């Protein structure tokens, strides 16, 4: 008699940050849509941000669920409810690196209760964020493969590895001096100031540097990696994007109705992600630059603190003057819907990979304004490799004139139509990639088949507990 093969069960363990939770939920949905059982492990606060999405998936028949772990914030000296890495960049609780150290310490304390879940649920595979190095040991303990999820582009991973191996930044003196990243097919120049802060490896970031080293070692011992991209964009393995359902700060129908009244490719969308914060002075400079550009726009502004007054940063009478031509959204916006709308012709972005990929899939060129981490690497991919981006400048403070110049060049300059045509071609490639027999569709099928095969082999040998 032929032995019955049980349903593949995949566990997901995301980093507790919005930009990592979103693609993790998307991946869990994609696996579940192919018939796998999927379980996302997170904390109460983070689970609430996508509970509606999970409910809709369950209502549609997907076998997808969430397991909750209590985050030990108070035990490490963080405030109760401090469950997201996003909070570290807007908190007034203390030094940023001290908060990062405490947050990582609390995350490491999740290993024991997470291993209890693995023992109880007996999944066949674990997809865990790169920033959680202990996940590999946890998976090995229970005899299941661990896939590493990288929340950035394959291009950024290559740049980062080339810099780590060859250390070209150590051959220049000042932070503004440029160097060429070796062993890349394109001539990519960066400066020391554009490298992630932890590259300095000073005393403040010592614990974080140790965690990164552990993450690299854990990756080498893992079963494989997943990168959120598509082959035609970067020639790498991938899993593509899907729509998610967060609560918007504006009614989606009202937003789309506003866009419907505009001409194709006429609206600039401005958003800098969930972790980036600007001073009131810089926000004011953005407002003046947008007004001077005379472009129609949607501008999403993340409040820095709950006690901030809504209009402290706006020039006097700004919203009244912009009525009908500019829409300011305070809080969360339906970004994927906006970028997919035919009237949106450009995107000013911080170059976080989720936003960058959503811009690519929306077929819009970008004004790039990176701030931290690998965002500068993603900027180079957009501006130099794919040639669908215009840089606003690399300095910490960006003047209104630079903002006006960049958005005009991207929306109406000599290269505007060329960039738009390239961006739209990439969007078409992205859509084909996730269709049946497309590169992403086929890659996911191949991965699931491989995991099922691995699972069947493990069924012959009892897992070590």
pLDDT in tens, 66-86: 999 999 999 999 999 999 988
Q: Which long-range contacts (CB under 8 A, 24 or more apart) does 48-56 make?
A: 49/18, 49/21, 49/246, 50/21, 50/25, 50/244, 50/245, 50/246, 52/245, 52/247, 53/25, 53/29, 53/244, 53/245, 54/25, 56/245
Query: Of the given ranges (46-60, 194-208, 223-237, 439-453), which has the lowest mean pLDDT?
Result: 194-208
pLDDT of residue 457: 72
Do 9-151+196-240+435-460 and 252-431 agree at the fold level?
yes
pLDDT score of 215 more than 50? yes
Query: What residue has token string 């789309």?
Result: 256
* Mean per-residue pLDDT of the chain: 88
More confident residue, 19 or 91: 19
Q: Over 50: is that where the pLDDT of 3 sits?
A: no
The per-residue pLDDT for 236 is 38
Question: Does 201 have pLDDT greater than 60?
Answer: no
Give the pLDDT confidence of 309-367 residue by residue, as tens digits. Answer: 555 778 888 989 999 899 999 888 899 999 999 999 999 999 999 999 999 999 999 99
Q: Which residues are CB-contacts of 141 (< 8 A; sequence separation ≥ 6)? A: 115, 118, 464
Q: In this model, does residue 138 exceed pLDDT 90?
A: yes
14 class by beta-carbon count within 10 Å (0-12 exposed, 13-18 middle, 19+ buried): buried
Active-site residues: which are they? 20, 129
Average pLDDT over residues 279-289: 92
Q: How confident is the model at residue 250 (pLDDT cuts 50, 70, 90)?
A: low
Pairing outcome for strands 189-191 and 178-180: antiparallel
Q: What is the pLDDT of residue 44?
A: 95
CATH superfamily of 252-431: Glycogen Phosphorylase B; (3.40.50.2000)
What confidence score (pLDDT) does residue 313 get?
78
pLDDT at res. 239: 34
For the chain, what are the domain ranges?
A: 9-151+196-240+435-460, 252-431
Instruction: Specify the pLDDT at position 276.
Output: 73
What does the pLDDT read at residue 223? 94
What is the CATH superfamily name and number for domain 9-151+196-240+435-460?
Answer: Glycogen Phosphorylase B; (3.40.50.2000)
What's the pLDDT score for residue 86? Answer: 86
Q: How many CB atoms lie within 10 A of CB 368?
A: 29
Q: Is the pLDDT of residue 186 over 80?
A: yes
Determine how many CB atoms are found less than 10 A away from the CB of residue 21: 26
Q: pLDDT of 13-28, one tens digit each? A: 999 999 999 999 999 9
pLDDT at 247: 57
pLDDT over 60 (residue 222) = yes
Q: Which helix (H) or strand (E) holds 370?
A: none
**Taking residues 366-381, what's their average pLDDT?**
93
Percent above pLDDT 90 for the chain: 69
> Which pTM value belongs to this model?
0.86
How far is the CA of 449 from the CAs of 33, 116, 242, 444, in angstroms?
14, 27, 21, 9
Percent of the chain with pLDDT over 70: 88
Q: Output the pLDDT for position 453.
A: 87
């Amino acid at each position: 008699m032929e032995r019955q093969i049980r349903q593949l069960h995949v566990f997901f363990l995301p980093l507790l940050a919005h930009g990592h939770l979103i693609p993790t939920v998307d991946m869990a949905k994609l696996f579940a849509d192919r018939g796998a059982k999927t379980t996302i492990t997170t904390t109460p606060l983070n689970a609430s941000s996508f509970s509606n999405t999970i409910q809709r998936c369950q209502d549609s028949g997907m076998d997808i669920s969430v397991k909750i772990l209590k985050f030990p914030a108070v035990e490490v000296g963080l405030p109760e409810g401090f469950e997201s890495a996003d909070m570290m960049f807007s908190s007034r609780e203390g030094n940023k690196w001290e908060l990062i150290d405490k947050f990582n310490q609390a995350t490491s304390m999740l290993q024991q209760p997470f291993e209890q879940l693995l023992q109880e649920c007996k999944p066949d595979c674990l997809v865990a964020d790169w920033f959680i190095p202990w996940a590999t040991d946890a998976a090995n303990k229970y005899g299941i493969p661990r896939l590493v999820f990288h929340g950035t582009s394959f291009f950024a991973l290559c740049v980062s590895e080339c810099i780590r191996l060859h250390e070209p930044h150590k051959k220049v003196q000042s932070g503004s001096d440029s160097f060429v990243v070796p062993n890349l097919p394109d001539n990519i120049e960066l400066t020391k100031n554009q490298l992630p802060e932890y590259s300095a490896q000073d005393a403040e970031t010592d614990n974080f540097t140790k965690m990164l080293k552990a993450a690299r070692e854990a990756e080498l011992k893992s079963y494989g990696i997943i990168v959120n991209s598509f082959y035609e964009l970067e020639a790498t393995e991938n899993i593509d994007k899907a729509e998610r359902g967060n609560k918007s700060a504006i009614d989606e129908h009202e937003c789309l109705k506003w866009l419907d009244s505009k001409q194709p490719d006429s609206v600039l969308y401005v958003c800098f992600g969930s972790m980036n914060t600007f001073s009131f002075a810089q926000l004011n400079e953005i407002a003046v630059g947008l007004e001077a550009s005379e472009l129609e726009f949607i501008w999403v502004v993340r409040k820095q603190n709950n006690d901030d007054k809504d209009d402290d940063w706006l020039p006097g009478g700004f919203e009244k003057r912009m009525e009908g031509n500019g829409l300011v959204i305070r809080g969360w916006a339906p970004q994927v819907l906006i970028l997919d709308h035919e009237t949106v012709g450009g995107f000013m972005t911080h170059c976080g990979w989720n936003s960058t990929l959503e811009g690519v899939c929306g077929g819009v060129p970008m004004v790039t304004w990176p701030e931290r981490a690998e965002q500068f690497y993603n900027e180079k991919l957009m501006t130099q490799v794919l040639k669908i981006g215009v840089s606003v400048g690399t300095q910490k403070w960006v003047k209104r004139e630079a903002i006006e110049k960049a958005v005009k060049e991207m929306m109406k300059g000599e290269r505007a139509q060329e960039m738009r045509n390239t961006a739209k071609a990439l969007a078409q490639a992205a859509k084909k990639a996730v269709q049946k027999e497309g590169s992403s569709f086929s890659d996911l099928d191949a991965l699931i088949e491989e995991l099922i095969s691995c699972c069947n082999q493990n069924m012959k040998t009892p897992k070590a507990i």
